[in-house]
Amino acid sequence: MTPITTTAELEAFCERIADAPFVAVDTEFMRETTYWPKLCLVQVASPDDSAVIDPLADGIDLGPLLKVLADTRIEKVFHAARQDVEIFNNLGVLPKPLFDTQIAGMAAGFGEQIAYDALVRQMLRIELDKSSRFTDWARRPLSQAQLDYALADVTHLAALYPALRARLEKAGRLAWVTEEMAQLVDPANYDVDPENAWRRLKPRKFAPKYLAVLRSVAAWRERTAQTRDQPRGRILKDDAIDEIANQLPIDLDGLNRLRSVPKGFGGSRFGPELIEAVKAGLAAPEGYAPKIERNGTAPQPASGAIVELLKVLLKARAEDAGVASKLIATVSDLERIAADDHADTPALHGWRREAFGEDALKLKHGELALVLDGVRVRVVEVRRAPRAAAS
């Protein structure tokens, strides 16, 4: 097997798979030292054909492949798709409709964020060769063993996808993962506009000055990382941005006194630029600060205990349903439910409300109890005595 290295070869392959009901897709990329992922290999398999595509080959145009990925008649199958989707989004296309076998595996009872090799082992009874897992995919030429390893990722994926989909359909859970798939191809997830970079952070305060400087410094870091093609964490860590937004340094001395800012940062070329970003945020904080809605009500003294009970309930209901608990609700969801019965959280909508949300509210209000039965937790209804009539 030799990789596709010319546009003509790629066009011919894409013509052969143009009428396929689905294609399995995987990528190999490098990004440890860069902001932008460097795409090194693309593997594609339909039910009847497969290929390894070399995007680093001189003169190759990936246009024919991108056309297939944009074709809404063809379902695109990935495992743990987020980074792959990000790469293709950078190339101008969001692959949809999309099916992520990791998310599907969570709904089918294979546990939290099941690894690809584990899913192949459990569904296909095949043990994958891991010897090429740590390959430097940017080096050329690639060995036959490396190419075979890369291709196996999608040929096995193409084999397990129909069985996994059928399993979800039989269990009535295919619709459960539809919302997750839609979120994966939401362009907002892959927005690289520096002015929106603050959304990657977790603001700890709501004061306009704090939020304005947080946004301005995050935007500066994002622009710098993009321009220099370096990971944003190598420019400035998240905790340093939070401390800067709290302390509001307006000169290099103030910047150098911050604990989370690297030593000597103020004396680097970045120091003056960062101070200018702080001043820009402080210029008109009321207008520049992002508007953040405070979800729910202020935490009540007992909310911590409620969250802990909800965690136990979630585990019990997830085990009963044979679904990974993370697919039903996150800790953040539980915290919001503990604070507000009407919290706008996925756990209180759709199938999640049916599987967990309703019981979560009942537990919160004393209508359900958790009982340890051996090594399992049972959920039982609480019979409450009628309220005495007012005299």
SS3 assignment for 160-217: HHHHHHHHHHHHCCHHHHHHHHHHHCCHHHHCCCHHHHHHHCCCCCCCHHHHHHHHHH
Q: If you average pLDDT over residues 59-82, what whole number do you get?
A: 97
Considering the chain, what is the average pLDDT of its residues?
A: 92
pLDDT (tens digit, 9 = 90+) per residue, 314-370?
Answer: 999 998 888 999 999 999 899 999 999 999 999 999 889 999 999 999 999 999 888
Least Cα distance to 214 among 248, 189, 262 occurs for 248
Mean pLDDT, residues 179-204 taken together: 92
My answer on whether 258 and 313 are in the same domain is no
> Band of the pLDDT at 376, cuts 50, 70, 90?
confident
pLDDT confidence band for 193 (50 / 70 / 90): very high
Looking at the structure, tell me whether residues 46 and 130 fall in a common domain. yes
**What is d(CA 78, CA 85) in angstroms, rounded to the nearest whole number?**
9
Domain at 87, CATH number: 3.30.420.10
Q: β-strand 75-78 against 22-30: which pairing, if any?
A: parallel
Top-confidence residue, 260 or 132: 260
Residue 160 and residue 225 in one domain: no
Number of domains the chain is built from: 3
Query: Of 69-83, 103-117, 128-142, which one has max mean pLDDT?
Result: 69-83
| Final residue before a domain boundary, out of 288, 323, 339 | 288
Q: What's the pLDDT tens digit per position in 257-312?
A: 999 999 989 999 999 999 999 999 999 999 999 998 765 444 455 578 899 999 99
Q: Do 106 and 57 belong together in one domain?
A: yes
103 plus 56 within the same structural domain: yes
Confidence of residue 378 (pLDDT cuts 50, 70, 90): confident
Cis peptide preceding 97, ω within 30 of 0: yes
CA-to-CA distance for 30 and 152, rounded, in angstroms? 19
pTM of the prediction? 0.85
Distances (CA, A) of 301 to 305, 306, 310, 339: 9, 10, 16, 10
Q: Is residue 295 part of a domain?
A: no
pLDDT for residue 179 is more than 90: no
Judgement on whether residues 20 and 93 belong to the same structural domain of the protein: yes
Boundary residue ending a domain (242, 260, 288)? 288
Q: For residue 297, is it within any domain?
A: no
Domain co-membership, 150 together with 47: yes
Range of the domain at 19: 7-189
Same domain, 82 and 205: no
> Do 55 and 180 reside in the same domain of the chain?
yes
Decide which of 159, 189, 219 is a domain's last residue.
189
Phi then psi for residue 10, to 5 deg, are: -65, -40
363 assigned to some structural domain = yes
CATH code for position 207: 1.10.150.80
Based on the domain organization, do 222 and 321 belong to the same domain? no
- Indicate whether 6 pLDDT > 90: yes
> Could you report the per-residue pLDDT of 210-247, keeping only the tens digit for each?
999 999 999 999 999 999 999 999 999 999 999 999 99
Give the residue-averaged pLDDT of 16-34. Answer: 96
* Residue 67 falls inside a structural domain: yes
Q: Are residues 23 and 76 in the same domain?
A: yes
Distance, C-alpha 118 to centroid of its chain: 20
Residue 50 lies in a domain: yes
Q: Is the residue at 387 inside a domain?
A: no
pLDDT at 389: 52
**Alpha-carbon separation of residue 207 from 255, 277, 283 (angstroms):** 20, 18, 15
d(CA 146, CA 140): 11
Q: Is there a domain that residue 19 lies in?
A: yes
Residues 24 and 121 both lie in one domain: yes
| Confidence label for 387 from pLDDT (cuts 50, 70 and 90) | very low
Question: Would you say residue 391 lies in a domain?
Answer: no
Segment among 59-68, 135-144, 178-187, 287-296 with least mean pLDDT: 287-296
- Give the per-residue pLDDT at 301: 52
